[in-house]
Structure 1
Amino acid sequence: MQQVFRLERQRRGGGSVTVEVVYGITSLSPVAGPPEALLGYTRDHWGIESLHHIRDVTLGEDRCRVRRGAAPRVLASLRNVAVYLLRGLDIGTIAAAVRTIVATPERALAALNQPVSISE
């Protein structure tokens, strides 16, 4: 352990502000892990957690009974593609996009016909 850090998060919603304080530890020295870098690592981690949350909660990955062979990995990849395509619909949340596609499946087919740009 090289450092201990304190991170304060504020969330605004419904006219109120919620403050959350979390603490972390790292093996990075203060030179290798200045505050800006630690904040970046924390944000990157939550970006990954966000995808897992969408797959688990919205797309029901945890309820999936597929457990053998390559099928779980294939289904996870398909869910990642679905999240990418749903984000491209500009509907808002992924849950709202799923509801929209369920109600109007023709939009899913239209979305698949759109050109895709891959940025590096």
Structure 2
Amino acid sequence: MGLARGHWEIENRNHHVRDVTFHEDLSQVRTQNGPHMMATLRELAMSIMRLTGVKNIAKACRDFAASAHKTLRQLGY
């Protein structure tokens, strides 16, 4: 039972965010290193957001897209 919960926690924490917020399943990047690089960039973005205290990644993406200044300020610039 605990193993199943652990699996779904990972699914909800990473894959769900990547699929729903970053639309990873809809990505048309399919050749050479493109898919791996895009997955790496998405994971980096999520990690930075979590390290800076962001709780809702979807909301943070919307906020950051609306304001470059807020994005840079969150990163310490």
Same fold (TM over 0.5): yes
- After superposition, residues 39-118 of structure 1 pair within 5 angstroms as 39=2, 41-50=3-12, 51-113=14-76
RCO higher in structure (CA 8 A, sep ≥6): 2
1:55-96 CA distance string (max 9 Å, x none) = 011011111100011110111011001111222343431111
Q: CA deviation at 1:100?
A: 1.1
Give the Cα–Cα distance (whole angstroms) in 1 for the partners of residues 9 and 70 of structure 2: 27
Q: TM-score, normalised by structure 1?
A: 0.55
Q: CA deviation at 1:49?
A: 0.8
Q: How many residues align?
A: 76
Where in structure 1 are there 5+ consecutive unaligned residues? 1-37, 115-120
Bigger fraction of residues in helix:
2
**Counterpart in the other structure of 1:8:** none
Give the Cα–Cα distance (whole angstroms) in 1 for the partners of residues 48 and 9 of structure 2: 17
Give the Cα–Cα distance (whole angstroms) in 2 for the partners of residues 97 and 53 of structure 1: 16
Spell out structure 1 runs of 4+ moving beyond 6 A.
none
Query: Identity of aligned pairs, percent?
Result: 37
Give the Cα–Cα distance (whole angstroms) in 2 for the partners of residues 96 and 58 of structure 1: 9
Q: CA deviation at 1:45?
A: 0.9
